[in-house]
Amino acid sequence: MSVSVNRPSPSGEGIRTDWTREEIRALFDLPLLDLLYEAQQVHRRWHAPNEIQLSTLLSIKTGGCPEDCGYCSQSAHAKTGLRAEKLMDVDTVLAAAAEAKAAGSGRFCMGAAWREPKDRDMDALCAMVAGVKAMGLETCMTLGMLSPGQAGRLAEAGLDYYNHNLDTSPEHYGAIVTTRTYQERLDTLGHVRASGMAVCCGGIVGMGESREDRIGFLHALATLPAHPESVPINALVPVKGTVLGDMLAGTPLAKIDDLEFVRTVAVARIAMPRAMVRLSAGRESLSESTQALCFLAGANSIFTGDKLLTAGNAGADADAALFQKLGLVAMTSAEPARAAAE
């Protein structure tokens, strides 16, 4: 079938939120080189082709989450030996943010292993946001579900992005999480959007899902009332002691095919042209060649540093060496999140 990809004018006309599953499926089914060509055309209309945003992710509250997400080592249901910790103090978080900025990051993301934040924690969280913003860094938090009031407070503190992933397709979701519904995730995204913050929302591939589930996942993102301004694409890191880590260990499903991962990135870029598409967890398992194909497919943001929450990451030195090989440069500034959301 014929697929109308986003080829917008500078005024922003042509952004679609009415994608059908059939259209998303047709993109996945394109010959890979044709798909990459289409994705690169879209990418160059909206983004500098050789600039990559560097982001740093800090776990500000680790372990003990009551949710049963099958991929997560921080779930209280997992048997990973990870000890629950308290929320970091504000000064420790700000020191980490300053270190990230000195290393070249333009965005600082803070994650807490909660079902939702308690109101008693909001003062400290807002102080973290304000302090990181004062350094000139873009800010993002992921704290679980939010009430409208909590979203409003974070927005008032200056939080640029709030991350809340859909994880997978609506159909596959119940095999991954049972303690929080898909609709609850959509409700939180609605509260974030209503507060004026930009949305960071993506998911994880390689969780034993089918291509049809990857189609459904991207369809769910691309048909939100407004596209997420940031779309993290994670490859599952199968951790021993988690439901999925134990289930997939030693099976052909333990790692998603590299070219299927590239296809997923390319379709995300075509369907959501304005978004920052971020290579997130699992990037350390991708070869340099596969990462290069992901950048060609339209990925333009990565997490840098040695650690993502509790999982390992490639590290700044490895990233710098890869950038030099590919002729990529770190993005010096990104379009302000609120401006992008308008």
Spatial distance between the Cα atoms of 153 and 168, rounded to a whole number of angstroms: 29
DSSP output for 275-338: SEEEE-TTGGGS-HHHHHHHHHTT--EEE-SSEETTEE---HHHHHHHHHHHT-EE-S----HH
Let me know if 269 is a catalytic residue.
no
Beta bridge partners of 307: 312
Q: What three-state secondary structure class fits 104?
A: coil
Q: What amino acid occupies position 9? A: S
Which of 25, 69, 126, 201 is flagged as catalytic?
69
Which is the catalytic residue, given 126, 200, 201, 294? 200
Choose the catalytic residue: 107, 263, 278, 283.
278
Per DSSP (E only), the strands in 47-127 are 51-61, 107-112
Q: Please confirm, yes or no, whether 69 is among the known catalytic residues.
A: yes
Rg of the chain over all Cα atoms, to the nearest angstrom: 19
The single residue of 72, 126, 201, 294 carrying the catalytic annotation is 72
Pairing of strands 51-61, 307-308: unpaired
Query: What is the distance between the alpha carbons of residues 77 and 241, in angstroms, rounded to a whole number?
Result: 9
Q: For residues 264 and 73, give the distance between their C-alpha atoms in angstroms, rounded to a whole number.
A: 24
* Half-sphere exposure (Cβ direction) of 196: Cα atoms closer than 13 Å: 12
Give phi and psi for 200, each to the nearest 5: -115, 115
Residue 75's contacts (CB-CB under 8 Å, 6 or more residues apart) are 65, 66, 67, 68, 69, 242
- Of the residues 65, 126, 201, 294, only one is catalytic, namely 65
Q: Are 108 and 141 in contact (CB under 8 A)?
A: no
Q: Which of 25, 107, 109, 201 is catalytic?
A: 109
Q: Specify whether 140 is catalytic.
A: yes
Catalytic (active site) residue 201: no
Put residue 78 in one of left, alpha, beta given phi > 0 → left and psi -120 to 50 → alpha: beta
Q: State yes or no: is 126 an active-site residue.
A: no
To the query of whether residue 200 is one of the catalytic residues in this protein, the response is yes
Q: Is 211 a catalytic residue?
A: no
Residue 18: both structure tokens together: 């009415």
One of 140, 153, 185, 214 is an active-site residue; which one? Answer: 140
DSSP state of 167: B
Catalytic residues: 65, 69, 72, 109, 140, 200, 278
